[in-house]
Structure 1
Amino acid sequence: MNKDTVLDIQGLSKTYKNNRGIDNITLQVRRGDVYGFFGPNGAGKTTVMKIVTGLVKADRGSVRVFGYDVNEHYEEAMKDVGVLIEKAEAFEYMSGRKNLELAARLYPHLPNTRVDEVLDLVGLSANKKEKVGHYSLGMKQRLGIASAILSKPQLLILDEPTNGLDIEGMVEIRELIRRLAVEEQITFFVSSHLITEMEMICNRIGIIHNGRLIREGDIGELLQESGQSLETYFVQQIRAEREAANHEPAPIQYH
């Protein structure tokens, strides 16, 4: 494994009882990447991320984070990883700051200034005393990211961070990811079905469809290869996969 590889996924497969899952996923996220993991809803993005973070066990394959196998050395692998999967959870009767203070108890090594530092980073300083129940969806997402970066992770895994947000909220999250990549030197593994939104911040992408990784590469190379927008390229790849599937036996359904 290359020393610059932060996340190394090899041959990852998982089939659920309903025959949905992922099949033979292999990809690498390098230090400094903002890696966009793209695919239609239900393509298998969340399943991959749950396996990477130890929330689901794979049937086959391996995951290494910072060189550590997630199954064999889970604590070492996840020590420098921040995670926000599906949606941000918080105590709505407490303020944003109180929620982060509670989370900070898990990291006794953190300086007392870290809570206010991350609130400022995500743009919630003015709302830190407000109850989370009064937050907009975009503010709750930002609070979730604040919690994920509280421990100063080197890798941040975000599952659909702009899902359900309005245009302003999407822009806020996009700008936040860009800022954290620069100011906090965080490597990102970000899933989304909104390729035009993430194209503005990602330098590499992987396209997943029906549980299989159908394309991976640097955005610049893919754009040069296709000679068109990334959105058009993405749609063409998905349609080509679907057309190919129509000439083969019915595929397994994936989640």
Structure 2
Amino acid sequence: LLLLFPFFPVGSSIPALPELHWHPATATWYGSPDGDGSDGGACGYGSLVDVRPFRARVGAVSPVLFKGGEGCGACYKVRCLDPSICSRRAVTVIVTDECPGGYCSNGRTHFDLSGAAFGRMAVSGEGGQLRDRGEIPVIFRRTVCEYPGRNIAFHVNEGSTDYWLSLLVEFENGDGDIASMHIRQANSDEWMEMSHVWGANWCIVSGPLRGPFSVRVRTLMTGKILSARDVIPRNWTPKATYTSRLNF
């Protein structure tokens, strides 16, 4: 069952994706020159950052974009500006980590990209030269997250029990970010609100909780809502990932 509809608070202005306007920022890179970036990160995606479609597209962002973890999963196009070395092609990156200090401090808008993603902003054959520059000025804008052939999935975090259930959302098309999550137990009409714990992780303390669980997600950027009915089975287990039949 798919329930998908926009949620627009009264008086709000909901921006569309992809965003049309570019904004100024700065960028650096980390890890090996042609590497995929961090293993894990402050969003909690763990080993997902090492496999496609995340692989080599991950990035850490400053707190103004990380938003205390609510910015996790958002997708951005980032492009460098020097025509002597930069291509006109923007690289698409997924927020998987936070860079809280250094270049990312003092309210700056900054991207710390994988070596591979950083190098892709250069013209052919000049990726190494671009990386040698260290920090560079860039422009960026929000863009639609796309995970072809994948539906939204819910990973049950380690340590979850019938009284403490923690979920991580994976492969969210569209906005990519999350504003709120609710679950509904078996044989119930009540949607129970989950709390944002850290990164892209949400939890609920109640119980005993009885599956199967339906999960409802509302995005942060545009307020769209998706409900996946009975996506987590009655006999769920910690550290398992359950994939729905739908996506934004």
Structure holding more helix per residue: 1
| TM-score using structure 1 length | 0.22
Give the structure with the higher percent strand. Answer: 2
TM normalised by structure 2 equals 0.22
